[in-house]
Chain A
């Protein structure tokens, strides 16, 4: 036997992570400052890795000369078109797969077979199919975005409670109305989570596609800088890509907060 005597200790803390925007920003800024400090202390040779200040100066020069915007605008356009095409088709097919058993197994088999193929390996094929110009680049992005979107959407549809769909039927709502007002909003959280994945995939594929037969675009710019061993320019291009990724993630975060505020 054991005697217990005293106040009950609190043990209900933790396991409730919350997002802290300032901590995210502080970490990134801190890492850049640390990097700059290491360079200035001479611990990292600048040939090995250029300092943030040098990269910043290069970026600034590229901005002033209009060179940056020339490449960035081309990339953004491809990104927007390619991602949108892949997303629209992906959501449509994902919905169809989630709703009709006739399509489910056949389409999912095709998706499972094609999803793991690195789309970069298919770029030469896309060039033959869609031409060396914009067509092949947009196709690379579109295909890369399409498959994960199908999977995310179909999963989201499966997660919509059947009882809600029965409710819609019990009020005599049309199939289209049920899809629009019950299935799609119910699948939206999963679809938005999918966006986080597909936007990253799109940026990776964009750069890869632009490294083959493109004169403009961040990928082409990075490739050219790499060939000349112009490390400042190379890193400047990479910083732009990283910033692009950050901005896109932030936009999706805002969209989630607005669209899913009911949660």
Chain B
């Protein structure tokens, strides 16, 4: 994979600041007093038991859900060719089945760019995600892994300053997951995109995060915030430090996860 020159612009980037975020669905409080900061170009991995409000928090960060309390601030400078500073990557890919790969990637560019400029950008991000050969395929013809590559290509096409990824790999098999994670980590690190990465898989969290925020079970609060001070590119899955970190996080959420799971079974919502 090649690196486009325009995406390596250093010195820019978005800082994401969450202050006192709280949220409730009717009587159900899902988030309480969340304070988090993601520095420009940093990756925050968000883990926590099922139903603790991770997707809700990401929705709040992306402006798709209005929080009941608190504020989210995005500050910093973005490149001139950035068309959607804060951009989502979806767990279920959210591709339009009636559009080819190429046209799916072009969708968010359509209101902004001429046909020629669109085609150039689409070709560029398809090359970046190794999808060039599938540009004219329908989504139904792709494997799950390739569909999420399209999701990533579409997100990169708008030159985001911040990526919000909600379990982007959880619909995929373990092998594809490992391969794609490496790929995403490289793309994000090289483009210097501020990223929030929600996952259930702790190995993914320690592989991709500069910070790992561990949420408690519902109502979700930040239970621990761990820093991993080493560059994302070049981290190895077998790194003993990362494995130790994974152990620590697992110890923190094990009881929570078990309780949350029991509650899910007792009171399915």
Interface residues of A (CB under 8 A from B): 163-164, 166-174, 177, 181-182, 185-186, 188, 260, 262-263
Contact = CB atoms under 8 A, between A and B. Distances in A.
A167 B93 CA distance: 9
A177 B108 CA distance: 10
A170 B110 contact: no
A245 B110 CA distance: 40
Given A182-B96, A185-B98, 10 more contacts: A164-B96, A170-B62, A171-B84, A171-B87, A171-B108, A172-B84, A173-B107, A177-B111, A181-B110, A186-B96
A164 B94 contact: yes
B235 interface: no
Contacts of A173: 107-108, 111
Interface in B61-92: 62, 64, 83-84, 87-88, 90, 92
A177 B96 contact: no
A171 B88 CA distance: 8
A204 to B, nearest CB: 32
A9 to B, nearest CB: 32
Contact of B88 (A170, A174, A260): A170
Interface residues on B, range: 20 to 34
Contacts of B140: 262-263
Given A173-B111, A177-B111, A181-B107, A167 B88 contact: yes
B134 interface: no
Contacts of A181: 96, 107, 110
A177 B110 contact: yes
B85 to A, nearest CB: 9
Nearest to A166: B64
B107 A163 contact: no
3 closest A-B pairs by beta carbon, nearest first, are A171-B108, A167-B94, A170-B88
Contacts of B158: 171
A20 B94 CA distance: 35
17 contacts: A166-B94, A167-B90, A171-B84, A171-B87, A171-B107, A171-B158, A172-B108, A173-B108, A174-B111, A177-B110, A181-B107, A188-B98, A260-B98, A262-B97, A262-B99, A262-B140, A263-B140
A174 B107 CA distance: 12
A173 B88 CA distance: 13
A160 to B, nearest CB: 10
- Which residue, A171, A177, A188, A262, has most C-beta atoms of chain B within 10 A? A171
A163 B94 contact: yes
Contacts of B250: none
Interface in B123-154: 138, 140
A262 B138 contact: yes
Given A262-B138, A262-B140, A170 B96 contact: no
A106 to B, nearest CB: 26
A263 B138 CA distance: 9
